[in-house]
Amino acid sequence: MRKLTFAMNVTLDGYTAAPGDDLGWSGSEGPDSSPSDELFQWWSDRVAATGLSLYGRKLWAAMSSHWPTADQQPGATPAVVEYARRWRDMPKVLFSSTTSAVDWNTRLVTGDAVTEITRLKAEDAGPMDIGGATLAAAAMRAGLIDEYVLVTVPVLVGGGTPFFTALDSWVNLTLVENRTFPGGVLLTRYETRR
């Protein structure tokens, strides 16, 4: 059975995006900055270790508009080149009822996300990551997420898209890792107690 992890950058007040889907806060050195080299490498290594990545429409749009050609941009660093290659090569599933075509090693699912995620989890294959707060909320409510990774950036945005959704019952977690990155960014990783 595959492990499903929900991992995203999050503000200190718990949002994955500020109002208007603004992600300008997500750099470790303040608004409109980039993550530290150390944090960027951590995300790149995570992509390399992921067997399958599950995307909601909004996060897919953001990622697929940049990473397929990021390594071809003037001034692309070796780390960006490596991440772009890893992202393109990683198998992906996009859950969307409005998208009609995908590329870059991606399969489109237009049906029920929870049913498909449940089927994918039952496979004997590598770990899965889920990205996008709306898609993750459906998996969270269904009790499908095995691990939560919060990369907390020390900024308050006051509203937006929350990392966690409203739940019908408590989910008990066990802290399995914490790590500090430059700029006061804190990674915390929790496993769901079953």
> What is the structure's pLDDT at 188?
98
User: What's the total number of domains in the chain?
Assistant: 1
For the chain, the residue count is 194
Domain with 144 in it: what CATH number? 3.40.430.10
> What is the structure's pLDDT at 30?
47
Q: Is the dihedral of CA 21, 22, 28, 34 positive or negative?
A: positive
Per the DSSP assignment, residues forming a β-bridge with 93 are 54, 107
> What is the structure's pLDDT at 27?
65
| Distance of alpha carbon 62 from alpha carbon 162, whole angstroms | 17
> What is the structure's pLDDT at 28?
47
> What is the structure's pLDDT at 29?
46
Q: Which domain holds residue 39?
A: 4-192
Residues of the chain with pLDDT under 70: 27-33
* Measured torsion, CA atoms of residues 46, 52, 53, 57, in degrees rounded to the nearest 10: 170
> What is the structure's pLDDT at 167?
92
